[in-house]
Structure 1
Amino acid sequence: MIDFEKRLKSLKERRQGTRERAIYESMESFSANNAIQRGIDVRKSESFENLNEVAGVKYAIGAMSAVEPASTNVSIDEGNRVADSLIKSLLNSGESVTKRLQGSVALDIHIKGHSDVDMLIIVTNPVKIELPKVNPNEYSPATDTRGLINIAKDVREKSERILPINFPKAEVDSSGNKSISLEGGSLRRKVDIVPAIWFDTIRYQRSGLESDRGIKIYHKADHEFYLNYPFTHIKMINDRDSLYSGNLKSVIRLLKNMIADMPDYKKRTAKNLSSYDLAAIAFHMNTELDVPSYMKLALVEKARAHLAFLNSAKTYRDTLDVPDGSRKIFNEESKTEALEILTNEISDLAKAIYEELKPFSHSYDANVILNKSVF
């Protein structure tokens, strides 16, 4: 049986931090100590907490809800602050770069109030162009005579030197092959800096839309580029989410919270499905996402049925691409094992909610959750 009161506590702490942390962040230490001893909680009460519903319903609705915008904006502001400082220093050292936000915060599918933020630092001159060029005269000759891979390497190495100077009290970790992370000091969020270059696809050359533009991330150890399409992914998720009134992102957050609340022995395997993979899995629910806002609980059963089908239908599962079409979702066997665990967990969730709603019933009836209105 799921302990939903424990789940609600962990959900709130993910979204708003612990009670003690919130108090220490809102007042000086003497007053904070007194407030903690008196059991005061300064954290905001969220709408799902105030529902006149059983705990399981509150948890499910909360797990699907976006983190408070004010907290998300702090993550974005801190990412921009670090990126802007770095870009200014890189420009002064002869590097031409710009920034972009990517990842879960960019899509508003993060589940932590104090969420890490990914900032791309992208070389702007020259760019990598997919051949054949659509319009050969559209691109001016590069003014930098270094090869692109060496420019990216120089940007990476300069960033590793600059960031500890610009943020002397922060802990700067340069051990990652694709990113440099900063946290602590004056930073209110952990920030990951990801050096990359533009990859102007043929499609982008025709459309001029950034959602058609690729990037190549610099890998430090391999001294190679790895192609990604983060802006295509963002557009595909945003467009489908808008089509279904926010329900796609709700399911993505639900799946991420389910993994976050697993015991460690399950979580180690389940985390082989990345946030990117979970978004892709939910993306393929298609019309199953079409439920009215007052029946949002139905998404629990819809997601359960979708995962159960994927878990059992290997032939179909193996055909599924991520939204930008760059690869298959289940491109590693470890992800199939993760899917099985996640399927069982969401099945347990649906059944536990059903048992709270129908405590004297002995067999699960999906229609109870599918038809439940929550206001």
Structure 2
Amino acid sequence: MRKNYTSLIEKVKNRSNPDFINESVLFNKAFSDELGQLKSSGKQVLEYVKRSMNGVEARYTERTIEAGDNVKGHLKRNNSSVDYRYQGSVMSNTHIKGHSDIDLIQITNSFYSHEIGQNFSIKYISEPNMSMSQKQKLLNVINATPYSGNSNSDLRLLRLNAEVVLLSTYKNVDTDKAKSIEVNPSEPNRIVDVVTASWYRSVESEFNEDETQRGIQIYDKEKNERLATDFPFLKISLINERSKETGGRLKKMIRFTKTLKADSEQDLRGLSSFDICSVCYNIPIHQYFSLPYYQLVYILYTEFKKISENEVYRNSIKSIDGTEYIFYNKPEKIRLLRLLYEEILFIYEDLLPNTTALRFL
């Protein structure tokens, strides 16, 4: 089924360039020249694929981070003892909107959770060549005094104090969300979601002295409890590393798939950015590390087809950090995955006549 690529191209342009900056200024010359050639050739499907895979220009991302930094500055002046970090697609450059939201996490230093103490002790005993710093990091957890406060009450207070600060600083603040405070500054015009959390220390994060391997536990104001441990910094690091190994191709596939989801006439909101990133990350590097951008569509087509049809393979797919299965016992996600597969199939079929000179299959 041929799609309306004139309309789809305009959607991508409006999404990735919401300020309508002249593209000859916005894009580098090589990219602008290639878009010009595609336009003049009339191969709109190739132009749509090319634009969909392209990253948001640095100036938009910089403005998004600037909005987060401004919010962080106000919070930090009120509470400098808290750690502030960013998470999400902006930090892995897999976002597809020029005016993207950004997640700012305020992480308490009053307490932390960790793997069972026995694991730290085993690591301490089994590593004879540890540095003094590594020994101390493990001992800090092994010999730590149990926290005597009320962790949920402390996180609630941190969340409520942040609400007071932000409400007194910004006009547009939504404090009703359970997991975050939504702040919409006017300059730059971005949405900043402020999340409250505590640290989770794994054995490897302490032994390797690597914060990216630490987890967080997000506070839910509605439930007044911490949620299951998540590893957002590890996910960002793994995506960045693999995309570097593949010349940016992993991120191109993620952006393209997210674009198809955004442009679909089907409601695919139940299939998250997290799910899409995990599916693309699962594809073996050797299948695509040297392919041109348009052949990445074929790689996605074959992968989504295999996931849709092969239950054993589908059930084996894990999240990027390896902590959960994406589709196992999740029929709604499988249904949405199949709908997204159909979107990829349509693009793939429309691409074929435009790539007859290439060995696409």
Deviations 1:246-270 (A, max 9, x none): 111100000000011111xx1x2x2
- Provide the residue aligned with 1:292 in structure 2: 290
- Provide the residue aligned with 2:308 in structure 1: 311
- Provide the residue aligned with 2:92 in structure 1: 107
- Provide the residue aligned with 1:373 in structure 2: none
The residue identity in structure 1 corresponding to 2:262 is: A
- Provide the residue aligned with 1:205 in structure 2: 206
- Provide the residue aligned with 2:101 in structure 1: 116
Residues 181 and 50 of structure 1: is their aligned pair in 2 closer, same or farther, counting only changes over 3 Å?
A: same
- Provide the residue aligned with 1:49 in structure 2: 35
Residues 324 and 284 of structure 1: is their aligned pair in 2 closer, same or farther, counting only changes over 3 Å?
A: same
- Aligned: 1:275 with 2:267: no
- Aligned: 1:328 with 2:325: yes
Gap regions ≥5 residues in structure 1: 23-39, 359-364, 371-375
The residue identity in structure 1 corresponding to 2:74 is: S
- Provide the residue aligned with 2:164 in structure 1: 161
Q: 1:176 deviation in Å?
A: 1.1
- Aligned: 1:150 with 2:153: yes
Paired residue secondary structure (2:178):
coil
Cα separation, 1, equivalents of 2:217 and 2:301: 36
Bigger relative contact order, structure 1 or 2 (CA pairs below 8 A, ≥6 apart): 2
Please show how residues 134-149 of structure 1 align to structure 2 within 5 Å: 134=121, 137-138=139-140, 146-149=149-152
Please, which of 329, 338, 341 is the counterpart of residue 339 of structure 2?
A: 341
Maintained 8 Å contact 1:64/1:253: yes
Q: 1:291 deviation in Å?
A: 4.0
Gap regions ≥5 residues in structure 2: 122-135
Q: TM-score, normalised by structure 1?
A: 0.82
Q: How many residues end up aligned between the 2 structures?
A: 333
The residue identity in structure 2 corresponding to 1:319 is: S
Cα separation, 2, equivalents of 1:355 and 1:67: 29
- Provide the residue aligned with 2:239 in structure 1: 237
Cα separation, 2, equivalents of 1:99 and 1:76: 13
Please show how residues 238-257 of structure 1 align to structure 2 within 5 Å: 238-257=240-259
Q: 1:282 deviation in Å?
A: 0.3
- Provide the residue aligned with 1:29 in structure 2: none
Residues 49 and 273 of structure 1: is their aligned pair in 2 closer, same or farther, counting only changes over 3 Å?
A: same
- Of the structure 1 ranges 208-217 and 50-59, higher mean CA displacement relative to structure 2 is found in 50-59
Percent sequence identity is 25
Q: 1:146 deviation in Å?
A: 2.8
- Of the structure 1 ranges 276-285 and 135-144, higher mean CA displacement relative to structure 2 is found in 135-144
Cα separation, 1, equivalents of 2:4 and 2:263: 11
Maintained 8 Å contact 1:51/1:58: no
Residues 43 and 12 of structure 1: is their aligned pair in 2 closer, same or farther, counting only changes over 3 Å?
A: farther
Q: TM-score, normalised by structure 2?
A: 0.85
The residue identity in structure 1 corresponding to 2:46 is: V
The residue identity in structure 2 corresponding to 1:346 is: I
- Of the structure 1 ranges 141-150 and 112-121, higher mean CA displacement relative to structure 2 is found in 141-150
